[in-house]
Amino acid sequence: MKSACEHLVKNLSQKAYSAAAGCKGDGRRPRSKKSSTYLQVRLRAFSSCVLAHRLFARARYEEPFEIDSKRLRPGAESGVAMVTVIIMSAVLLLMGTGMYYVASSEQSMSQGNNVGGQAFYFAEGGLENVLDILNYEATEWQLTQPRNGQYLMNPDASQRQDNPDPVTVTVGNQTYKVWVDEVDQYGSHCTGCGLVPTSKNPAYLMVYAEGQTSEGYRKLQQQVKLTPTGYPLDFFINGNVTINGNEALTNQSLFVNGYVAGRKFLTVSGTDSTYGMPAGVFATGRIYANSNKTGPIYTTSGAEDSKYWNSDYINDRDQYGPTGNPFSTSALQGYFNYGGGLTTSQLATLQNEAQTSGYYNGNASGSLTIQQSDLPDRSGDIVIYVDFPSGNPQKNVADLKFSWPPDPSYTGKALIVVLNGSINMEGGAIGQTTAVIYCPDGSVTAHGSGNQVFNGYVWGDGFTDEANFTFNLSPEMINDPPFFSWTVTRGTWQQDDQ
């Protein structure tokens, strides 16, 4: 192919030589083969032949010989430069368009995230609000109470997953809605599986929160676990009981980690509201008919003592009887956990509540009297917290001379905590009181004149009754137990949708 090109160039050169002579117009031959016309024709011919060779070589998959750019005509690179400029301009235009599109998308996404973030944080605030409520109210009865016409848990179990009347809070243009549903441990809706404080089994709730702003929406859900603490929701004495007056227990039992003296002065009736069993007296020690610890109602063999036992004691159990069904420490622990009492955290919460909106005395000594005038005149729950830093718990005494709620038209209960001390319940002043007494270090004494009614739970290190006192356990206390009856643990969390 190369020799053919050279032959073609030679022939064209001859013609170019002749043409060059003719171009002079004088009929003379050119003086030299180096004339400009001759050289231009020869160069163009050779370039065309080389290009033809390259095309022919590519068609046959042959490797073409290299083109010597120095032999190309002057100015041939100008076309390549123009093409390069056009291509680079197009590339830069495409890059600029792409960068603008990406920047616009990032700005839109940033604005969307900002608006969505506001809705997210508002919904998260709703979740935290509900979790705070669950630390104090977690039973089905508590959660289904109306809150300004709205419900944290819908009374209709079939509408709890998608509550049509959730609790709604609006601040400016921002709103969150919150509600809860009973679920199993896997997060699936269930009915009748809510918290039972007297059970040893945990319960689960799903908390829903929707955050809504003018331009964004977020929905969150948080599963929580409610674990009963085993706090005694009945009349519990972690010591001995002596009864001298005419005491009555209605719809609750007396659990005693010790002996009971004076059973004949105690009337027990009704069904234990906490455990749903016939009310009775259950003691890890012996039950005596008389206040001076004589007259055991069961013999050491577990049989009913014919001299002291009567049909009113049919549901009673002590360390010996009845035969085949005595009562023991392990049996007591089967009802509740009395070993540790309230935790440091729970006591700290109660102390804070007392200091904030109740009654608090953290440096009590000797004898302390709490009267009606020492307490606020209002409805709702109240915490009364007394701590004797030193001294003998049996000689550090808090005299309770008030009733709660302070007015018959009010509602609520008193949470009474006395540490390193004892309690005197003044019958003439205490009247009708709904309360929970926690006195783990000292004894509780009920005395005075009149027929007083105490509705609630008692925990004491000992108990003495010297008056006509009735201890009752109403459904209100079962439905609305104190917050230290359970603990709240966060479970799985997720963002439901956007």
Cα dist. 435→67, 188, 417 in Å? 107, 36, 11
CA angle 289, 293, 296 (to 5 degrees): 45
Main-chain phi, psi angles of 32, to 5 degrees: -155, 155
What was the pLDDT predicted at 113?
A: 52
Tell me which of 167 and 468 has the higher pLDDT: 167
Query: Is residue 92 very low, low, confident or very high in pLDDT (cuts 50, 70, 90)?
Result: confident
Write down the mean pLDDT value for the chain: 84
What was the pLDDT predicted at 250?
A: 95
Residues in Cβ contact with 423 at an 8 Å cutoff, skipping those fewer than 6 apart: 397, 398, 400, 416, 437, 439, 442, 443, 444, 445, 460
Confidence (pTM): 0.75
Three-state DSSP state, 158? helix
pLDDT digits (tens, 9 = 90+) for 145-194: 999 999 999 999 999 999 999 999 998 888 999 999 999 999 999 999 99
Q: Catalogue all structural domains in the chain, each as residue range(s) with its CATH number.
A: 2-71 (no CATH), 114-231+487-497 (3.30.1300), 235-484 (no CATH)
Q: What is the mean pLDDT of residues 464-472?
A: 88
What was the pLDDT predicted at 29?
A: 42
3-state SS string over 14-57?
HHHHHHHHHHHCCCCCCCCCCCHHHHHHHHHHHHHHHHHHHHHH
What was the pLDDT predicted at 100?
A: 64
Q: What is the mean pLDDT of residues 195-224?
A: 92
Q: What's the rounded Cα separation, in Å, for the pair 392 and 394?
A: 5
Q: What's the rounded Cα separation, in Å, for the pair 137 and 344?
A: 20
Helix (H) or strand (E) holding 78: helix 77-134
Query: Is residue 3 very low, low, confident or very high in pLDDT (cuts 50, 70, 90)?
Result: low
What was the pLDDT predicted at 75?
A: 54
pLDDT digits (tens, 9 = 90+) for 365-415: 999 999 999 999 999 999 999 999 999 999 999 999 999 999 999 999 999
What was the pLDDT predicted at 62?
A: 45
pLDDT score of 72 more than 60? no
Radius of gyration (C-alpha) of the chain in whole angstroms: 48
- Strands in 213-330 per DSSP E: 217-228, 235-237, 241-243, 247-250, 254-256, 260-261, 266-269, 281-283, 287-288
What was the pLDDT predicted at 30?
A: 43
What was the pLDDT predicted at 85?
A: 72
DSSP state of 278: B
The strand pairing partners of 176, in sequence order, are 169, 211
Q: Retrieve residue 314's tokens.
A: 């049919």
Q: Retrieve residue 380's tokens.
A: 């709702």
